[in-house]
Structure 1
Amino acid sequence: MVLPKKPLFLGLLLLGTAFWGISYSVVKTGVGYADPYSFQTYKFLMAAAAVALLFPRQLAQLRWGTMGWGLLLALPQFLGSTLQTIGLQTTSAANAAFLTGLSVLLVPLGKAPLLYREAVAPQMWAACALALVGLYVVAVPGGWHLHAGDGWILAGAVAFAGYVLLGGRTAREPHLMAILVVQLLGCAGLARLSGWGAGYALAVPTAGA
């Protein structure tokens, strides 16, 4: 039995949102065992391997144009993820979730007056505001408290908004999973280069960690 596309996509969106929320606690725990650059390297390599195993036929269609889009998307995703990972070392998971959620508002701002010059419906602004209020209620129930890492998280939210805006340009490209694999490998490479530049050798997990 084939499910109708709309309920299927809605279910996947809800599932992705749940994993997104859980990820803040996971990342905060992970960076307690390794530097942010090593953590990022392993994370993106594992993600690339998982997508490649799930969509091997798309990888067979890899072309230079596909690689170009993947590498272009890797930059804002890497910046957003790395800034967020650095910030999580010195802020709470709740603060990180709320500040990253500000990208919900930054995306229509980028579409309207800044980049695409596209009109944004009033309903969209209302939905963004409602989403932010809901996120604050869920993520910061005990009230807002500033932490040293909040600035890093906010900068990461700007990078994530740029990633979403750029990703919208690739939505009609064929072989999106191949683009994603290249993108994730590009993020892993950028993480390793940044780690070397910052003086961090690649951390090797041990059984006692």
Structure 2
Amino acid sequence: MKIKNKAMAADLGLVVTTVIWGSGFVAVKNAVDTVPPSYMIAMRFGIAVSLMCVIFFNRLKKIDWDCVKSGIILGVLMFIGYYLQTIGIQYTTAGNNAFLTAVYVIVVPFLYWIIRKEKPDGYNIGAALLCIAGIGLLTLRSGFSMNIGDTLSLFCGVTFAAQIVAVSILTEKNDPILISFTQFVVTGILALVVALFTEPFPTKMNTNSILATLYIGIFCTLIALVLQTVCQKYTPPARASLIMSMESLFGSIFGIIFLSESLTIKTFFGSVLIFLSIMISEIKPSFLKLEKESAELPDSTK
């Protein structure tokens, strides 16, 4: 398969990831009343690790120290991101939480520039700004003011930006499946340790919360995060962050379908802006390629 086809397939895979994450908002809403935040994180990653042991048993025998080191880095970043997001939403609105978390769309290109010395171009910056405006329309419902929850959500977005960039770099020379496994183990262990010392054990889980937790563990964690890690091997981090920001779009769509949330003018135009930002990101390589080829053509008038 050509690299171009791999890149297209990777972008499509990231879109599927965001669809799953978007549906996860409904599942989380059905589980948070009976499962404390850190236990939820520990359970979802525990389910993912258990299933990966069964599905990739022979492959996991190839784990080496490089995979372990990569998994520790990604696992720590992922746990911090999820934990800050979960704690932050307790002190701010869901809209502010989602909007500030999505700041990774802006941070990723510049963080990658700092680490890899690859300067973001006008397309990257324009698409990111357009995307963050769309997410703002989707998520911000009643004004905006900074408090402790907003601050935690902002740091969450920066942490997720670091995680996205780290995935892009660490999957260049490592098996994405093995990195995903070690990342899940580290995240789950950290969540369990925090849960045991700070939260009551969930003893009143009902059928809905159990089914929701299973869905989050299997689909939103195992399938979606493995897919993210594999696809980011073939997608530049700036474009990957834009595509993954569609989580807020699909979250709104599933909220309208399953939670009877209303479709507003803001939701519509926010969705349009996010879609346009993705299109700018996707079309950009074609324009750049044409410009490069035009520059390389010999001048017949000379």
Instruction: Answer whether TM exceeds 0.5 for this pair.
Output: yes
Query: What fraction of aligned residue pairs are identical, expressed as a percent?
Result: 24
- Cα distance in 2, alignment partners of residues 32 and 90 from structure 1: 16
Distance 1:95 1:25, change over 3 A: farther
Q: CA deviation at 1:128?
A: 0.8
Structure 2 residue ranges without an equivalent (≥5): 210-302
Q: Does the 8 Å contact 2:101/2:157 carry over to 1?
A: yes
**Equivalent in the alignment of 1:37:** 38
**Equivalent in the alignment of 2:162:** 162
Matches within 5 A, 1:136-155: 136-140=136-140, 142-146=141-145, 149-155=149-155
Q: Which has the higher helix share?
A: 2
SS state of the match for residue 170, structure 2? coil
**Equivalent in the alignment of 1:74:** 75
Q: CA deviation at 1:186?
A: 0.6
- Cα distance in 2, alignment partners of residues 26 and 93 from structure 1: 15
**Equivalent in the alignment of 2:127:** 127
SS state of the match for residue 70, structure 1? helix
SS state of the match for residue 61, structure 1? coil
Distance 1:154 1:29, change over 3 A: farther
Matches within 5 A, 1:10-89: 10-89=11-90
Q: CA deviation at 1:184?
A: 0.6
**Highest Rg: 1 or 2?**
2
- Cα distance in 1, alignment partners of residues 20 and 93 from structure 2: 18
Structure 1 residue ranges without an equivalent (≥5): none
- Cα distance in 2, alignment partners of residues 13 and 172 from structure 1: 17
Distance 1:109 1:35, change over 3 A: same
Spell out, residue by residue over 1:92-127, the C-alpha distance to the aligned partner (whole angstroms, 9 max, x if none).
333222211111111112122x44433112211111
- Cα distance in 1, alignment partners of residues 66 and 203 from structure 2: 34
Q: CA deviation at 1:34?
A: 2.5
**Equivalent in the alignment of 1:194:** 194
1:73 partner amino acid: L
Distance 1:115 1:197, change over 3 A: farther
* Bigger mean CA deviation after superposition, 70-79 or 58-67: 58-67
Aligned-CA RMSD value:
2.5
Q: CA deviation at 1:176?
A: 1.5
* Bigger mean CA deviation after superposition, 46-55 or 161-170: 46-55
Q: Does the 8 Å contact 1:31/1:85 carry over to 2?
A: no
Spell out, residue by residue over 1:40-61, the C-alpha distance to the aligned partner (whole angstroms, 9 max, x if none).
1111112223444443342121
Distance 1:188 1:144, change over 3 A: same
Q: TM-score, normalised by structure 1?
A: 0.83
Q: CA deviation at 1:25?
A: 4.7
**Equivalent in the alignment of 2:96:** 95
- Cα distance in 2, alignment partners of residues 28 and 20 from structure 1: 13
- Cα distance in 2, alignment partners of residues 31 and 152 from structure 1: 19
Q: TM-score, normalised by structure 2?
A: 0.60
